[in-house]
């Protein structure tokens, strides 16, 4: 899979601002009731199945591009369930790891589409800082942070160069796997994941969600390269730890 600006313009132009919020989701600045009801139902069932009696949902919010003007066909319905981690356990770091694991498993094993958009769940501590320019409370049916349509200059060449640089590393990880060099694939794969995480975080802290680094990460995710990286590292680990059957 290759990323090329000229041959794949939708991938890079998908970050540009639209004149309106997506009308499939919004009407007069409010979420369609059938959508908010369904997203609330999904979030509450997710929490209920964890069978943790001390969990109280403080809010359920929609964030991301569908709560903003830069939505596209690549967008997801990013639903964040807000709770107080301290009510679960005093070890908040352990609580975060638990929720990250269960929501990751849920997102991986479910493919729920609402108006054509995939639903992605995230459990967020009420004290957690979240970078977003649009936040809508599903529980309260109102904007927590209303987005503003402002033109943004996207460094498409910079986004392309950063994503292409990482694509080469991901392809190399796959090459190691195909040649059965599983330990090398695991090492390079984990290094690449760490590099991408640090790159994105640095961009968010410096320039927010429109940073070149964050958009390069989104190119990798939307093109399937992030999935390819995680899948290849996982498969490499499984092969590396396996023992062949005795003949």
- The mean per-residue pLDDT over the stretch 128-140 comes to 87
The per-residue pLDDT for 7 is: 45
The per-residue pLDDT for 155 is: 84
The per-residue pLDDT for 246 is: 67
| 164 touches 225 (CB < 8 A) | no
- Alpha-carbon gap, residue 54 to 126, rounded angstroms: 15
Confidence grade of residue 205 (pLDDT, cut at 50, 70, 90): confident
Confidence grade of residue 5 (pLDDT, cut at 50, 70, 90): very low
Confidence grade of residue 6 (pLDDT, cut at 50, 70, 90): very low
- The mean per-residue pLDDT over the stretch 125-129 comes to 87
- Alpha-carbon gap, residue 125 to 127, rounded angstroms: 5
Domain ranges (residues) in the chain: 17-145, 156-241
**Which has more pLDDT, 13 or 123?**
123
Span 102-122, pLDDT tens digits: 999 999 899 999 999 999 999
- The mean per-residue pLDDT over the stretch 76-92 comes to 93
- Alpha-carbon gap, residue 38 to 108, rounded angstroms: 19
The per-residue pLDDT for 9 is: 55
Three-state SS across 117-174?
A: EEEEEEEEECCCCCCCCCEEECCCCEEEECCCCCCCCCCHHHHHHHHHHHHHHHHHHH
- The mean per-residue pLDDT over the stretch 141-155 comes to 86
Residues 6+ apart with CB under 8 A from 37: none
| 228 touches 178 (CB < 8 A) | no
The per-residue pLDDT for 154 is: 80
Per the listing, tokens 């899948």 go with 231
Single pTM value for the model: 0.79
- The CA angle 118-119-123, to the nearest 5 degrees, is 150
- Alpha-carbon gap, residue 48 to 42, rounded angstroms: 10
Q: What is the CA radius of gyration of the chain?
A: 20
Q: Which CATH number fits domain 17-145: 1.20.120, 3.40.630, 2.40.160, 3.30.460?
A: 3.30.460
- Alpha-carbon gap, residue 82 to 97, rounded angstroms: 15
- Alpha-carbon gap, residue 13 to 74, rounded angstroms: 11
């Amino acid at each position: 899979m290759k990323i090329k600006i000229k041959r794949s313009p939708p991938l890079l132009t998908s970050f540009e601002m639209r004149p309106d919020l997506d009308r499939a989701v919004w009407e007069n600045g409010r979420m369609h009731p059938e959508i908010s009801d369904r997203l609330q139902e999904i979030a509450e069932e997710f929490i209920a199945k964890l069978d943790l009696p001390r969990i109280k949902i403080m809010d359920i919010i929609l964030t991301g591009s569908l709560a903003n003007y830069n939505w596209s066909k690549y967008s997801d319905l990013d639903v964040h369930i807000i709770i107080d981690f301290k009510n679960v356990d005093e070890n908040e770091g352990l609580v975060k790891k638990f929720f990250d694991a269960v929501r990751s498993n849920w997102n991986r094993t479910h493919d729920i589409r609402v108006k054509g958009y995939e639903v992605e769940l995230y459990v967020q501590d009420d004290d957690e800082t979240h970078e977003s320019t649009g936040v809508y409370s599903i529980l309260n049916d109102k904007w927590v942070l209303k987005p503003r349509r402002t033109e943004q200059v996207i460094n498409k060449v910079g986004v392309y160069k950063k994503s292409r640089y990482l694509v080469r590393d991901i392809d190399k990880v796959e090459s190691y796997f195909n040649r059965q060099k599983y330990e090398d694939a695991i090492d390079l794969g984990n290094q690449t994941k760490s590099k991408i995480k640090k790159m994105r975080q640095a961009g968010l802290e410096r320039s927010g969600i429109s940073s070149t680094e964050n958009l390069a990460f989104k190119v990798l995710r939307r093109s399937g390269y992030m999935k390819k990286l995680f899948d290849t590292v996982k498969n490499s680990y499984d092969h590396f730890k396996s023992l062949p059957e005795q003949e």
